[in-house]
Amino acid sequence: MGFLDFFTGGAEGQLKRHVKRVRNLNAQAEDRQASAYWLAENGSEEAIFGLLGRFGVTYEQGMKDAQEKELIRDLLLDLGPKVVEPIKKWVRKNQAFAIPLQVLEEIEGPGAVVDVLLDMMGREVDPFKPEKKRQILIKLAEYQDPRITERVPALLHDFDEGVRYAAVEALLAQEDEAAVRAELAQALANRQEESNRLRVRIAEAFQNRGWKLEGEQLEAVRERPPVGWVVEGDRIKPA
């Protein structure tokens, strides 16, 4: 594709070509960057989606890839609030949402990011495609918000062990220790939970935070502690 091609075919044709080139890893880096600047100057919703598309591809040279994505991040920040809705739409359909959500946080704050992540989490309903749900929970663990304590416990019963483990980590990052302890005690006592890795992680949290087990949950864990752990009194500790 020659340079002059970008000045033929009308505005719509130019836009589509720049959108295509900004994520074409076979193009010269300078050409991709030139298209990124063109899209930022255009500033339309489709142009913003085009910029966001660069996050969905990874260049084999890690340093250059990171530098290009940093450029895209800065261009999006310079566009300001107009990128918010396109970002919210884009992250719902794409795996590479970390940097776009950084942009959203700088513009609208952490509460907006949590809101988007929880919305995304609710949309991930296919039990055979758990990876995005895991990544959402890993990102949620970076924030403290009462809505996380309310919404995440349901995923302690998810089909995927990695999702359940990530849910534990997200809960452990929250401030409401009483609520978190109650949810994790129930998970530790769950006789259907087969993941020793997950149960050990919960046991470590109980030991490190000095949490007690009570009632039926205490008895359930006493009868079936994680491998390598025992219950003494109302506390769990390594065997």
Residues in Cβ contact with 224 at an 8 Å cutoff, skipping those fewer than 6 apart:
191
- pLDDT, one tens digit per residue, over 62-114 is 899 999 999 999 999 999 999 999 999 999 999 999 999 999 999 999 999 99
Residue-averaged pLDDT of the chain:
94
pLDDT at 10: 73
Distance CA 57, CA 39 (A): 17
Joined tokens for residue 218: 């205490």
**Higher-confidence position of 133 and 12:** 133
**Torsion angle of the four alpha carbons 171, 184, 190, 200, in this order, in degrees rounded to the nearest 10:** 90
- pLDDT, one tens digit per residue, over 179-205 is 999 999 999 999 999 999 999 999 999
Write out the E strands in the chain. Answer: 229-232, 235-238
What ranges do the domains of the chain cover? 1-108
| First-to-final CA distance of the chain | 67
Neighbours of 209 (CB within 10 A): 12
- Enumerate the H helices of 7-126 as residue ranges: 10-22, 29-42, 45-53, 62-79, 84-93, 98-108, 110-123
Residues in Cβ contact with 31 at an 8 Å cutoff, skipping those fewer than 6 apart:
21
- Burial class for 2, CB neighbours closer than 10 Å (0-12, 13-18, 19+): exposed
- The answer to whether residues 179 and 209 touch, using CB atoms and an 8 Å cutoff, is no
Q: Which residues sit opposite 237 in a β-bridge?
A: 230
Q: Over range 116-134, report the average pLDDT.
A: 95
pLDDT at 1: 43
Q: Which residues sit opposite 76 in a β-bridge?
A: none
- Burial class for 165, CB neighbours closer than 10 Å (0-12, 13-18, 19+): buried
